[in-house]
């Protein structure tokens, strides 16, 4: 069977890939045991009234994610618990807040990262 360049290109672009089972199991092990911490940008951004924040923990420990307004006042705590290493997501509902720019900060072990997000009503 002959595959044209355009069909092959379409398969690559659309994410359809043909990976051996061995490679798939290796990639799932990498996802289950992440090597570093990560705080993702929320999606969608700007949002109204809710958004999702993805984060990754490299090792077991206490993680906190808090939301602050522009002047540094803590608005809410999204996560404040011990979790094992892995990938997570948390949903934020901003319906009780006014439109504006906010920040969310993740702290886990020695890792701290801040991201900005915008609530538009």
- Domains present along the chain, CATH in parentheses: 34-119 (2.60.40.2550)
Q: Is the pLDDT of residue 9 over 70?
A: no
Rounded to a whole number of angstroms, the distance between the first and last alpha carbons of the chain is 54
pTM score: 0.72
How many other CB atoms are found less than 10 A from the CB of residue 39? Answer: 21
pLDDT of residue 35: 81
Mean pLDDT of the chain: 82
Q: What whole-number distance in Å separates Cα of residue 117 and Cα of residue 43?
A: 9
């Amino acid at each position: 069977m002959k595959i044209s360049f355009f069909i092959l290109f379409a398969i690559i672009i659309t994410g359809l890939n043909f990976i051996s089972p061995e490679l798939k199991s290796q990639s799932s092990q990498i996802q289950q045991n992440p090597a570093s911490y990560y705080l993702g940008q929320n999606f969608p951004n700007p949002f109204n009234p809710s958004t999702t924040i993805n984060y990754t923990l490299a090792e077991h420990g206490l993680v906190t994610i808090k939301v602050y307004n522009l002047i540094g006042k803590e608005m809410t705590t999204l996560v404040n618990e011990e979790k094992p290493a892995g990938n997570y997501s948390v949903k934020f509902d901003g319906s009780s807040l006014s439109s504006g720019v906010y920040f969310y900060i993740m702290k886990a072990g020695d890792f701290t990262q801040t991201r900005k997000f915008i609530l538009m009503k």
